Amino acid sequence: MLSRTELLRGDFLHVFRDQVRLPDGATAQREYVVHPGAVMVVPLLSVSDRAAQIVLERQYRYPVRRTIIEFPAGKIDSGEDTWVCAQRELREETGYIASEWARAGVLHPVVAYSTEFIEVWFARGLSAGERQLDAGEFLDVFSASSEQLMDWCRTGEVTDAKTMVGALWLQNWLHGAWALDWRAVQSEGGGA
């Protein structure tokens, strides 16, 4: 990196342009969105022989002009632990509190023009409670089977990349190919 210019400080999007040195010595520009990072939760209502009942959301997403089926997800608050964020987002968006959590991994939704990463968490031992949506947030919470989710990924009913990555994790975990390391929540709503 040779120099940096702030191109845009919007209410939501924060964009920079950096002057960079390439491997061949030439200079080039890189424009990208700076994002605090996010978490996504795969909430398991029940699990039986290679299938699960999961919690999903249906939400109108303005940039793509359509209603999108997604796993619960949200941005990390400044300084917030990602596990605490996962618990907060699940509770706020769906009302559910989970007794056990496992961190599956991390994904980068758009490596070409955003710093965003999304940590993928699994949650089980769910108990229902009250949602606390942000102002201006409108979303439907519903449950579906893992088979239904896979079918929606195949047919194009589900197109959200993070949710499809959640489906990849869910499928491989349910089939015993990928392992999850579960940890119990010590106090309701708090960390370990």
User: Which chain residues interact with its own copies by CB under 8 A?
Assistant: 7-8, 10-13, 15, 17-18, 20, 22-24, 26, 28-33, 61-64, 68, 70, 105-118, 136, 138, 150, 153-154, 156, 159-162, 164-165, 167-168, 171-172, 177-178
Min. distance of Cβ 167 from its own copies in angstroms?
6
**With respect to its own copies, which residue has the nearer C-beta, 17 or 131?**
17
Min. distance of Cβ 132 from its own copies in angstroms?
16
Min. distance of Cβ 99 from its own copies in angstroms?
25
Please count the CA atoms within 13 angstroms of the CA of 106 that sit on its side-chain side.
Answer: 10
Quote the tokens at residue 107. Answer: 């994904």
C-alpha to C-alpha distance for 30 and 22, rounded to whole angstroms: 11
Spatial CB neighbours of 188, under 8 Å, sequence gap ≥ 6: 97
Decide: residue 55, CB within 10 A, 0-12 exposed, 13-18 middle, 19+ buried.
buried
**With respect to its own copies, which residue has the nearer C-beta, 127 or 132?**
132
C-alpha to C-alpha distance for 86 and 185, rounded to whole angstroms: 12
Nearest partner of 153 among 95, 78, 69, judged by Cα = 69
Min. distance of Cβ 188 from its own copies in angstroms?
29
Min. distance of Cβ 110 from its own copies in angstroms?
5
C-alpha to C-alpha distance for 68 and 160, rounded to whole angstroms: 7
Quote the tokens at residue 181. Answer: 């390391």
